[in-house]
Amino acid sequence: MGKEFDYTANAQKFTAKYPVLSYVGTQVNFWMAANILLAIILHLNTLSLSATFKFGPVSGLSKNILIGAIAGFLYGSIVGLADYHLDKTVFRSKPLGKIILIKTGLSVIVTILVFGVIRFFLFQWIFLPSMYTARVSPSASSLKYLFYITLVYYFFMTLVINFINQVNKKYGPGILLPMLLGKYRNPREEERIFMFMDLKSSTSLAEKLGHLKFSALIRDSFMDINLLLSAFNAEVYQYIGDEIVLTWRVNDGLKNLSCIRFFFACEQQFRSRIDYYTRQYGVLPYFKAGLHLGTVTVVEIGEIKRDIAYHGDILNTTSRIQSVCNDYNKKLLVSELILEKAGLTPNITRESLGMIQLRGKEQMIGIVSLDIA
């Protein structure tokens, strides 16, 4: 495997193990870099003024950078913790426009607090001596304008950083950097596990609920599934109507049977919210799934809309495995190849369905039904 895949795997494992730290760390890194840049700009501006008005030498770039790093750490920590908790609660059901407004308001409040800390606790001790000589000191008006500069800068940097975070969320942890470096521009092979999960009785549910409520049911179901991704090292590859396609690197998926336990964890997640689903929709969602592994090629595709795509017969085969769940009245069907590499724990039962001829396939494949004992 290339280094980019190692980086991606490590990023995803870290996010799964330390979700809060990952959230906060991302914000801290971004804002420390942004604030150090601001400190350098302000320092260069001070040098320019010193050269123009001849008010003496200016020193202390390292102290300005220190102030920028401290401000970035404080700001990133507060915003990161707030974003994490709000994303898990308030933002789950809010439209993007309201999310942007709330985050912008939060950004303004935190900016005022952080600027206050810098102004009243750090400025006199560190920042002031590094920018001005003894003959020239900033007035209240100059500090006010410095605050305005900081506020405008933070506003636009908030937009930029939130945009980067949204792109990172689209592709998943550890994908954005390899994309920026062009690692997916040319096809490359990778061994992966895929799961196709499809909502059972979707046609009858759509007729019963109507298309608006049915879409809301799919939205809520996928949101509950997404809550479990990190814990089981799963990645969402695609949403296709009422179907969700998930993928794992083979080692991550087979470790502790994560790719299998994920399906049953989703069932438990739905059961834990049975009151909500029955109140909102009069039904509890049930999914059926197919699971298979094999070699695929991964490549960045598209020009107007870019995406990471997987190509290979494994995807078609996995989809076909899922499609025969109704034929055998089963909810989770996996290929024998998965079980050969994974094994099973005592609390998972298996029922072999034998060699099955999947639609559109020339070769038969061994299929096994799994359930919780």
Structure confidence at residue 270 (pLDDT) = 96
Q: What pLDDT, in 10s, does the model give residues 24-44?
A: 888 888 889 988 998 888 888
Q: How confident is the model at residue 330 (pLDDT cuts 50, 70, 90)?
A: very high
Summarize the confidence of residues 337-360 as an average pLDDT: 85
- Rounded Cα distance between 265 and 246, Å, is 14
Query: What sign does the CA torsion over 281, 286, 290, 296 have?
Result: positive
Q: Spell out the residues 6+ positions from residue 240 whose beta carbon is closer than 8 angstroms to its own.
A: none
Q: How confident is the model at residue 1 (pLDDT cuts 50, 70, 90)?
A: very low
Summarize the confidence of residues 124-152 as an average pLDDT: 61
Tell me the CA distances in angstroms from 54 to 48, 50, 135, one per residue in order: 10, 5, 11
Structure confidence at residue 266 (pLDDT) = 96
Instruction: Indicate whether 311 pLDDT > 80.
Output: yes
List phi, psi (to 5°) of 303: -125, -55
Residue 354 exposed, middle or buried by CB count within 10 Å (0-12, 13-18, 19+): exposed
| Residue closest to 59 by CA, chosen among 121, 129, 4, 122 | 129
Partners of 354 in the beta sheet? 367
Identify the residue with better confidence: 67 or 234.
Answer: 234
Question: First and final CA of the chain: distance in angstroms?
Answer: 37
Q: Spell out the residues 6+ positions from residue 333 whose beta carbon is closer than 8 angstroms to its own.
A: 289, 290, 291, 321, 322, 324, 325, 353, 367, 368, 369, 370
- Rounded Cα distance between 73 and 27, Å, is 9
Q: What pLDDT, in 10s, does the model give residues 231-277?
A: 898 988 999 999 999 999 898 899 889 999 999 999 999 999 999 99
Summarize the confidence of residues 226-235 as an average pLDDT: 87
- Rounded Cα distance between 197 and 218, Å, is 12
Residue 241 exposed, middle or buried by CB count within 10 Å (0-12, 13-18, 19+): exposed
Partners of 194 in the beta sheet? 247, 292
